[in-house]
Structure 1
Amino acid sequence: MRLLHTMLRVADLEKSIAFYTKVLGMKELRRSENEQYRYTLVFIGYGDEDSNSVIELTYNWDTNEYEHGTAFGHLAIEYDDIYLACNKIKQLGGIVSREPGPVLGGATEIAFVKDPDGYAIELIQKK
């Protein structure tokens, strides 16, 4: 068994795809549209779905806003250099909501960024 994907509902599909591909460096892996039920699914990730977990961006054509609720926390991505990554994200117009540095009470270095829909993404420094 393995984790296949995590689904996020997005309000602006093209803006979300641009963030995940151009800012975070993922690739669009596949896309499908359902005209009858008016939605588009786009799968993005760092590698092929056969061996990697990916993100499913779900765009409901008639919805342009979502409430996040209080249960979801964040996605986490390992980076070789979170300091460099945060500088690049800021240069590309991304939002760094927590600057890189050690986690409170520990030595692991983390940062947080927000995607266009406000979902939190934790960047974790590779050890």
Structure 2
Amino acid sequence: MVILHTCLNVSDVDQSIEWYTENLDFEESWGFETPDGETVNRYVADDNGVELQLSDTEGQTPSEEGELWDHLAVKVDDVDAAFEEIDDHGVIKEPGDQPAAGARTAFVRDPDGHAIELIEPLED
């Protein structure tokens, strides 16, 4: 497994993109919106290609520790197989295709309740 990104909930995605690119020399890499258009996800990457997902949901301003950090994304070869094998401590979302993100994903909780996203890229 490979860590792909960490998702941070932000109140203003444009401001966050500007901060990470100007202050930490990250490069904006890509982005997508949820089908309902309520959440904008944009990514910045460091020189090694490690990404931060900056997630801005309309009407939500993260202000507490539990709202600021969202999830850790891990690349797997087969989401369905990994989902079945992992000793999760709570299923958040069962495997499903996310065409806007170009991936099949599932979400589980680790022993301390952190959200872990399992990602398998969809075939082109």
Q: TM-score, normalised by structure 1?
A: 0.47
Greater per-residue strand proportion: 2
Which is higher, the Rg of structure 1 or of structure 2?
1
